[in-house]
Amino acid sequence: MKGALLLRLGMGVLAFMAVLGALLEIAREDDIDTLSIPERPEVNDPLRAELQRCRDLGDAALDDQDCGATWTETRRRFLTPAPSSDPEE
């Protein structure tokens, strides 16, 4: 009986320490919130501008031939493997 009581007391202490540690971690004020994502340099890509135009059109973009061509080019760029820089291949 004494061993079971000590085991329960130990488990209670461990549970208390886990909850306390979680609360302290939540309350800790780090600079995590102030980290900023570096901005990408502005690239003058006409395809990007056209994609934004198609996005702004909404459902009407489905009937726009220019948007269809833009999406096809985007898929081609995305799915085409990059040229290898390894001269042995």
pLDDT at residue 33 tops 80: no
CA–CA distance, 72 with 3 (Å, rounded to integer): 71
pTM: 0.45
CA–CA distance, 42 with 32 (Å, rounded to integer): 26
Give mean pLDDT, residues 59-66: 92
pLDDT at 87 (0 to 100)? 59
User: What band does 54 get if pLDDT is binned at 50, 70 and 90?
Assistant: very high
Q: Which of 81, 49, 80, 78 is nearest to 66 (CA)?
A: 49
Apex 21 CA angle, 17 and 22, nearest 5: 120
